[in-house]
Amino acid sequence: MRVALLLLGCLVLNACGVAALPFRIAGDVIDIVPIIGSPISGALHGVGNVID
């Protein structure tokens, strides 16, 4: 039953948004790193934007 609900939830969500989500989460996590976090975060968010 849980698998069916998970699959239904994935179908309801936009497939591109689901694919871009890991890049956006990684970008937010990496943004915490001082000095180098911001440029890398921007690149990862850019990948998420391209996927959308």
Q: How does DSSP classify residue 33?
A: S
Q: What is the pLDDT of residue 15?
A: 66
Domains of the chain, residue spans: 2-51
pLDDT in tens, 2-46: 777 777 666 666 567 777 888 888 999 998 988 888 899 999 989
CB 23: neighbour CB atoms within 10 A? Answer: 18
User: Do 48 and 23 form a contact (C-beta atoms < 8 A)?
Assistant: yes
In angstroms, the Cα distances linking 22 to 13, 16, 44 are: 14, 11, 9
Q: What is the pLDDT of residue 3?
A: 79
State pTM to two decimals. Answer: 0.65
Asked if the model's pLDDT at residue 50 lies above 80, the reply is yes
